[in-house]
């Protein structure tokens, strides 16, 4: 039964927001047990917003949080890094409404967390263990969550583009696997969408340095970091949105052509139905733990 984690020391970084192009100074600080992941707008008298699905404001092209009309946007890359690294408690200070996009991936945040170190607290970690499946769809987009002893994701995309699809990835998510397999995967867009997005006041800070950009046939700023970088980034976004559950998950999630809207709907529907899950301090069910002990004892006997 592991204890909760926070970071050992403050770390900071700065950069422009993908959609606003506004410079943002971001600082991560240790937090006490049972704090959770909490954003603080230092430009607005340290106004706080918890990283929880009840504070989701909108999810078009990024996941934004809002409380009392105060907004924080493009949270998913940092949340994915924190969640995968098992950080239970942290204060995130920023002086603008949008987190910096940096290189378009979660890799810079993983590097920040490595620099910050971790500190174990004297309070048991609480898990959300899924007991029964929940699945739903929206057209050809589907998502489901299923009982499992570990946290794993399976993500499928198909952009009908020579460089982008179909692609699929499935993995057990922990600090090592996320840092190696998903964190470097960058956000992406299509040239044909740029004009429409800019007309909506979005991606003002976008550039070839912080996103993969594709025309009708090819990638405009190669090389890719992975041959299947697109589905890896979608899995990264999925994990960031799942962090809004507020507890580490013990479940398997399958997402087919899903996006922020379906991800956050899944979290909302799950938390609303208490028959689907339980909260526990056990990392794995007692029966599974006994099975591992028995297997180990048998191996020693052999």
> If phi over 0 gives left and psi between -120 and 50 gives alpha, with beta otherwise, what is residue 136?
beta
The domain ranges of the chain are 3-284
State the pLDDT at residue 10: 98
Tell me the whole-structure pTM to 2 decimals.
Answer: 0.92
pLDDT given for residue 287 in this prediction: 56
- Position 228 pLDDT exceeds 70: yes
Share of the chain above pLDDT 90, in %: 80
CB 152 within 8 A of CB 239: no
Which of the 8 DSSP states describes residue 74?
-
Tokens of 165: 């699809």
What tens digit of pLDDT does each residue of 23-80 get?
A: 999 999 999 999 999 999 999 999 999 999 999 997 777 899 999 999 999 999 999 9
Distance CA 4, CA 260 (A): 27
**Strand blocks (E) in 241-302:** 249-256, 277-280
Catalytic residue among 19, 77, 260, 263: 260
263 tagged catalytic: no
For domain 3-284, give the fold.
lpxc deacetylase, domain 1 (3.30.1700)
């Amino acid at each position: 039964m592991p204890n909760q984690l926070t970071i050992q020391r403050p770390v900071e970084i700065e950069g422009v927001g993908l959609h606003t192009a506004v410079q943002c100074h971001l600082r991560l600080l240790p937090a006490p047990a049972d704090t959770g992941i909490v954003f603080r707008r230092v430009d607005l008298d340290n106004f706080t917003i918890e990283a929880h699905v009840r504070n989701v404001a909108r999810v078009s092209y990024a996941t934004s949080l809002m409380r009392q009309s105060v907004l924080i946007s493009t949270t998913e890359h940092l949340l994915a890094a924190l969640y995968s690294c098992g950080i239970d408690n942290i204060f995130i200070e920023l002086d603008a409404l949008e987190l910096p996009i940096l290189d378009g991936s979660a890799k810079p945040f993983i590097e920040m967390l490595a620099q910050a170190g971790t500190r174990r607290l004297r309070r048991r970690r609480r898990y959300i263990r899924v007991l029964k499946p929940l699945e739903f769809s929206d057209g050809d987009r589907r998502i489901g969550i299923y009982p499992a002893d570990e946290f794993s994701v399976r993500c499928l995309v198909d952009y009908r583009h020579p460089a982008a699809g179909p692609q699929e990835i499935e993995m057990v998510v922990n600090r090592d696997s996320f840092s190696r397999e998903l964190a470097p995967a960058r956000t992406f867009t299509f040239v044909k969408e740029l004009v429409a997005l800019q007309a909506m006041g979005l991606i003002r800070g976008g550039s070839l340095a912080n996103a993969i950009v594709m025309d009708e046939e090819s990638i405009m700023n190669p090389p890719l970091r992975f041959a299947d970088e697109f589905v890896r980034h979608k899995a990264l976004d999925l994990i960031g949105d799942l962090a809004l559950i507020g507890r580490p998950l013990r479940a398997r999630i399958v997402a087919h052509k899903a996006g922020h809207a379906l991800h956050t709907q899944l979290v909302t529907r799950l938390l609303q139905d208490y028959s689907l899950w339980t909260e526990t301090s056990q990392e794995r069910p007692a029966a599974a733990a006994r099975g591992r002990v028995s297997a180990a004892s048998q191996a020693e006997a052999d």
